[in-house]
Amino acid sequence: MIERILLVSDDEALRRQVEQCLLPRWQVAREPSLEAAQQTLNREPFDLVIADGQLPDGSGAHLLDNLKAVPGQPILLVVFSPAAAASAAECVRRGAFGFLLKPVLPEQFEVLLHQTENFRRLSGVAQFLAETGSAELFGRSRALEELRSQARKLARTEASVLIQGEPGAGKRFLARAIHSLSPRAETPLLEVDCASLSEGRIEGLLFGDSSCSAESPVGVLELAHGGAVMLAEIGALPLAAQARLLRTLETRKLERPGSRSPAPLTARVMATTSRDLPAMVERKKFQEGLFHALHVCSVRVPPLRERPEDIPLLVERFCEASARRYGRGLPTISSACWEALQDHEWPGNVRELQDTIERAMLRCPGGILEPAHLNGRIGEFGAAAPGPLGRDAETLDEAEMRHILAVLARCNDNRTHAARRLGISLRTLRNKLRESRLPNAAAPDEATAARPARGNQPLVSEGGMRP
């Protein structure tokens, strides 16, 4: 929001008119010339600059080019005399937010300030999303352009949405983007992390719990009245909760705990998953009806390996962010390092790339990033590995096992993902590893293997912003 305003004018009548509209609601600083205003802007942050079109050393429009380099990029309003209306229009075409004509009328000024505040607020939201989440969907590849087009189309509908993709690909951010582009953008988006909740808590959180001490306990689906609910990792939802959610989506009614009168479901439901839901349906681990109800509008976030042309853009972005965070200069990336980054398949997607670049920046003592500064596995993928027995020739079984181990390494030892990449079942992969007599060949629990690490995240958050 607008907090600090700089008024640039040597016209006492104009200054009195503007200050009468601004004080005491806003803090106002005053400068009589362009030179003095530029010195103040370089020294202090401002949200809005109101400049006279006629100043002793030029026009307020001359501030336009300089404001682009000022921290925070304050918005510019220019005040002209009625005879200079053509100059005012040209100033807006060049980038000024708006203009006023002398004498300044309080009613017109109030309307323009209200529009300026709204623009400033929306710009702040866009900047927040760009700095925090959009890196996951940052790039110019054709795959991302198609995804953005799908998101715009889905935003115009009221249907439930299923967002599929690998861990770290940007599913949550896509759900937030769809909500922010929809007619419900001004309403809350509540997020529920299904993978981090116990079976006993999930139903109470979604549908309400009559055992709560509150007089009218309501669940998230009712709490998001008129807004949207995003169910992250819906594949982890227990079967009982799946059946209840399906019934809610079909009837568009919420059964209230301890009440005979159901409440209407007015929230839009979006869900994300990194699991193979059709396979879970076949194994009776996921409700077929719920899958079809969510799959009416479905979108898949492409993994990073399917858009390698975006890797250089992301690497540069993450290098710049780390350089600012740790107060370092931008490094030069060696050709060998670029080759290693391009050869890696990034099973952890953009999240893995971001972590890798940040660690590399911390490990790099000088100004050149080399493969040695990356995660040890990344630089090894492009090189040919020797046979397991150290001989020049290897059997077909040995070659197969070497390939399996390489894929496992690329998947960070996640056997569910490795089996999918190899085109075999998890049971077949377990048997092959067991037959190889490798230590610790017993496969971990499938659900645990498929579940990405979460850390201490809140169960529900509004608008995706964690406290």
Classify domain 135-302 at the CATH superfamily level.
P-loop containing nucleotide triphosphate hydrolases (3.40.50.300)
Supply the pLDDT for residue 177.
86
Q: Check pLDDT > 70 for residue 128.
A: no
- The percent of residues above 90 in pLDDT, for the chain, comes to 23
What dotted CATH number matches 4-130? 3.40.50.2300
Backbone dihedral angles phi then psi of residue 268, each to the nearest 5 degrees: -85, 140
pLDDT, greater one: 412 or 44? 44
Supply the pLDDT for residue 258.
64
Q: How far is CA 371 from the centre of its chain?
A: 28
Supply the pLDDT for residue 88.
81
Supply the pLDDT for residue 245.
94
* Residue 364 half-sphere exposure toward CB, CA atoms < 13 A: 27
Could you identify the residue written with the tokens 């050149």? 368
The residue-averaged pLDDT of 191-218 equals: 75
Q: Check pLDDT > 90 for residue 281.
A: yes
Supply the pLDDT for residue 4.
85
Report the C-alpha gap between 234 and 442 in whole angstroms.
27
Q: Which CATH class is domain 396-450?
A: mainly alpha
The tens digit of pLDDT for each residue in 15-45 reads 888 888 888 778 889 999 999 998 898 888 8
Which run of H or of E encompasses 75? strand 75-80
Report the C-alpha gap between 414 and 418 in whole angstroms.
6
The residue-averaged pLDDT of 239-246 equals: 94
Report the C-alpha gap between 168 and 252 in whole angstroms.
32
Backbone dihedral angles phi then psi of residue 163, each to the nearest 5 degrees: -110, 115
The closest alpha carbon to 227, from 124, 128, 156, 158, belongs to: 158
pLDDT, greater one: 311 or 400? 311
Q: Check pLDDT > 90 for residue 461.
A: no
The residue-averaged pLDDT of 376-392 equals: 42
Q: How confident is the model at residue 362 (pLDDT cuts 50, 70, 90)?
A: confident
The tens digit of pLDDT for each residue in 306-321 reads 999 989 888 988 888 8
Q: Beta partners for 333?
A: 369
Q: How confident is the model at residue 122 (pLDDT cuts 50, 70, 90)?
A: low
Task: Confirm whether 4-130 and 135-302 share one CATH topology.
Answer: yes
Q: Beta partners for 30?
A: 7
Q: How confident is the model at residue 401 (pLDDT cuts 50, 70, 90)?
A: confident
Report the C-alpha gap between 290 and 179 in whole angstroms.
21
Q: How confident is the model at residue 412 (pLDDT cuts 50, 70, 90)?
A: low
Q: Check pLDDT > 50 for residue 458.
A: no
What dotted CATH number matches 307-380? 1.10.8.60
The closest alpha carbon to 344, from 396, 407, 405, 296, belongs to: 407
Supply the pLDDT for residue 241.
93
Q: Beta partners for 236?
A: none
Report the C-alpha gap between 162 and 270 in whole angstroms.
6
Q: How confident is the model at residue 213 (pLDDT cuts 50, 70, 90)?
A: very low
409 and 422 Cβ atoms separated by less than 8 Å:
no
pLDDT, greater one: 171 or 443? 171
Q: Check pLDDT > 90 for residue 400.
A: no
Q: How confident is the model at residue 157 (pLDDT cuts 50, 70, 90)?
A: confident
Q: Check pLDDT > 60 for residue 102.
A: yes
| Beta-carbon contacts of residue 286 (< 8 Å; ≥ 6 apart) | 235, 239, 242, 277, 280
pLDDT, greater one: 213 or 89? 89
Supply the pLDDT for residue 442.
44
In this structure, the strands spanning 332-333 and 297-300 are unpaired
List the helix and strand counts (H, then E) for the chain.
19, 15
Sheet with 4-8, edge to edge strand ranges: 27-31, 4-8, 48-52, 75-80, 98-101
Q: Check pLDDT > 70 for residue 277.
A: yes
- Cβ neighbours of 216 (radius 10 Å): 11
- The full set of domain ranges for the chain reads 4-130, 135-302, 307-380, 396-450
